[in-house]
Amino acid sequence: MKIAYFVNQYPKVSHSFIRREIKALERQGNEVARYALRTDTSELVDQEDKVELEKTHYLLKQPFWIFIKTCFLQLFKNTTGFIKALGLTVKIGWNSDRGLTRHFIYFMEACLLQKWLQGSGVSHIHAHFGTNSTTVVMLCHILGGPKYSFTVHGPEEFDKPVFISLGEKIKHSDFVVAISSFGKSQLFRWISHDLWHKVKIVHCGLEKAFYDIDIPPAKQNRKLVCVGRLCEQKGQLLLVEAAIKLAESGEDFQLVLAGDGPMRADIEALIKQHNLESKIKITGWISSEQVQEELLGCTALVLPSFAEGLPVVIMEAMALSRPVITTYIAGIPELVINGENGWLIPAGSLDALISAMQSLLHATDNDIRAMGEKARERVIERHNIDTEASKLAGFISQQKD
């Protein structure tokens, strides 16, 4: 079976789960062609991402006149499909948050993608994220391209389902993937009951090589790690506020913020304002191997997110026998069990975050080790990438004519 993947930006530091899914599909004998709009080579630190870069076809590397020429060719070769896709473009673009002009660009991208897929042997195209990448593959399908499916991660899709025409995208798709039961419930909200059968669950997964290593037992070394893009939804500013209170109360700890992003300057300013440079470190972008090293070297992961789907880094920490402190939102409680393999707190609660961090910092080695072992057992049972990719391949093959 030959499948195409289409993503807005690929490869990307924070999209390693897509790479793992593609490679798992290939291990199972499927051929996967990679397509994307763009990538940012300055962010790529993983050697595996650099390999993926060479395998990916990029639409936006083409000059603009190629898009114009391709649109005219589509008009003359498939007038009916062209008009139908253009009408859908106007329909979804009229009341969108990005406007008609941006959607006409998506239409041109779809025309070029459809041309590239002709004669390629691709029988199905899968997109990640229900935003513009799925808009392009939907229009490509209407233009005469292959059937499509897409994975919705959240939280962006759940924040603006009407603006991105989420229901329309599901209606035209073969099926849509949610990464958690919570995600599935949110998709049910935006489609009629007769389309509910289209919604499937495929978890993001981990490769065995990531966690099938010699793992030192978790212990109380008073080092906490937060891995994630430095942005408002991940809650790092609240985490630094908690660290300030803990430092003022005399707690001994180290906090590593592994990642980069638009809020880095604000976070650094807050750290500097309270003279916490000796306790809080920001690493910038790091590779998967470095993430693994940071997690193995800490007592626990802390991720006080305000909005999420189901963060892969929580799976990674748990697979490495590290308990987590995180928030009771979205799909997270389906994996993290409060008091058993981590701490679940209300999102946005500074007091609850401080209390959970204090509980962690005063836990014994035996307590932390027991929680870490339970965390590992649960995530390995639920998030094996080969098992999950097999589910996805099964859904794709079931939809073939």
Q: Yes or no: say if 180 and 158 are a contact pair by the CB < 8 Å rule.
A: no
Q: How is domain 208-382 classified at the CATH fold level?
A: Rossmann fold (3.40.50)
* Predicted confidence (pLDDT) per residue in 304-329, tens digit: 999 999 999 999 999 999 999 999 99
Q: What is the pLDDT of residue 401?
A: 47
pLDDT of residue 288: 87
Q: Residue ranges per domain, the chain?
A: 2-205+384-398, 208-382
Question: Residues 364-382: what's their mean pLDDT?
Answer: 96
Say what the pLDDT of residue 45 is. Answer: 80
pLDDT at 400: 53
User: In the predicted model, what is the mean pLDDT of residues 23-35?
Assistant: 98
E strand spans, 71-206: 124-128, 147-152, 175-178, 199-201
Structure tokens at 274: 């309270």
Averaged pLDDT, 47-74: 96
If you average pLDDT over residues 268-274, what whole number do you get? Answer: 98
Q: Are 313 and 291 in contact (CB under 8 A)?
A: yes
Q: Do domains 2-205+384-398 and 208-382 have the same CATH topology?
A: yes
Buried b (16+ CB within 10 A) or exposed e, 38-53: ebeeeebebebbeebb
Q: Please tell me the predicted confidence (pLDDT) of residue 367.
A: 96
Mean pLDDT of 387-401: 88
**Per-residue pLDDT averaged across 187-205, rounded?**
97
pLDDT in tens, 199-233: 999 999 999 999 999 999 889 999 999 999 999 99
Cβ-contact 244, 217 below 8 angstroms: no
2-205+384-398: CATH number: 3.40.50.2000
The secondary structure of 267-292 as a DSSP string is HHHHHHHTT-TTTEEEEES--HHHHH
Q: What's the pLDDT tens digit per position in 72-84?
A: 999 999 999 999 9
Residue 30, both tokens? 């499927």
Of the candidates 367, 358, 326, 360, the one whose C-alpha atom is nearest the C-alpha of residue 344 is 326
Residue 44: per-residue pLDDT: 84
Residue 94 has pLDDT above 70, yes or no: yes
Mean pLDDT score, 130-159:
97
* Res. 27: pLDDT tops 70: yes
Average pLDDT over residues 147-170: 96
